[in-house]
């Protein structure tokens, strides 16, 4: 008997009576507000930012003002120039040289302030979501979903993406009684630009 078969056999023998443990219906709980304000509050709670346009701003001028020292601004979207295109980054390692990555997210979750990215948005260069110094995410209000439950039920991306990541603010780490450190293992800042 293969180990797989023996594990399954033990599981069948030992499992609690299935009749007494029926699979509950899919839970869709909680606040159903899929609004922009809720999203912004949640994002800022985890250290994320909103890139607010000033009078006459374009995304390019807003980025230049927010990141005045940025040398390599990498674009993963057709409607923004940048200094380099993500398709032209030759290897996953090279993504580390990027100061600012501009990418479009297919949806956000209001409850969590999270944005979703997959290989479809990252041109299969998934390391870019981690190694870039700063990330600017273009998001549309109409692509907000209310909460974690509605996200998994409604969004087709979870069934198609090989690699899908929900990003919420900059990377952060803090152990028990430790200090909160932002940007240690991933992006140092995450800003959302509404379109």
Partner 1 sequence: MPNLHIATLGIERIVPRMADMGVFIRLLSRSALGSPITQYTTHFRGPQKGGEMHIVLVDNGRSARLGMEEFWTSLKCIRCGACMNTCPVYRRSGGLSYGAVYSGPIGAIIDPTFNERKYSTLPFASTMNGSCTNVCPVKINIHEQLYKWRRVLAEHHELPFVKREIMHMAGKLMGQPTLYRTAINGTEVALSSLPRFVLYNWLNPWGKHRELPHPVKQTFHSWYKKNRLKDKKESKGGKA
Which positions lie near partner 1, rule CB under 8 A? 3, 7, 10-11, 13-16, 23, 26-27, 42, 45-46, 92-93, 111-114, 119, 124, 126-127, 130, 147-149, 151-153, 158-159, 161-172, 174, 176, 186
Least distance (Å) from partner 1 to the CB of residue 82?
A: 23
Q: Which is nearer to partner 1, 25 or 56 (CB)?
A: 25
Least distance (Å) from partner 1 to the CB of residue 160?
A: 8
**At 170, is the secondary structure helix, strand, or coil?**
coil
Least distance (Å) from partner 1 to the CB of residue 96?
A: 11
Q: If phi over 0 gives left and psi between -120 and 50 gives alpha, with beta otherwise, what is residue 155? A: beta
Q: Which is nearer to partner 1, 7 or 52 (CB)?
A: 7
Q: Which is nearer to partner 1, 72 or 92 (CB)?
A: 92
Q: For the stretch 143-156, what's the b/e string if a residue is b when 16 or more beta carbons lie within 10 angstroms of its beta carbon? A: bbbbbbbbbeeebe
**At 8, is the secondary structure helix, strand, or coil?**
helix
Evaluate whether 132 touches 101 at the Cβ level (below 8 Å): yes
């Amino acid at each position: 008997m293969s180990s797989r078969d023996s594990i399954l056999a033990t599981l069948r023998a030992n499992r609690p009576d299935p009749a007494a443990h029926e699979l509950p219906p899919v839970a869709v709980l909680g606040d159903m507000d899929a609004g922009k304000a809720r999203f912004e509050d949640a994002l800022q709670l985890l250290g994320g930012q909103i890139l607010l346009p000033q009078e006459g701003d374009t995304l390019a001028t807003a980025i230049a003002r927010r990141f005045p020292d940025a040398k390599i601004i990498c674009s993963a979207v057709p409607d923004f120039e940048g200094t380099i295109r993500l398709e032209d980054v030759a290897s996953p390692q090279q993504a580390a040289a990027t100061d600012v990555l501009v990418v479009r997210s297919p949806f956000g979750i209001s409850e969590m302030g999270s944005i979703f990215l997959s290989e479809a948005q990252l041109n299969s260069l998934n390391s870019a979501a981690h190694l870039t110094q700063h990330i600017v995410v273009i998001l549309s209000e109409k692509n907000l979903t209310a909460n974690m439950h509605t996200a998994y039920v409604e969004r087709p991306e979870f069934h198609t993406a090989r690699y899908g990541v929900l990003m919420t603010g900059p990377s952060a780490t803090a152990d028990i009684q430790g200090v909160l450190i932002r940007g240690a293992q991933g992006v140092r800042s995450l800003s959302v630009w509404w379109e």
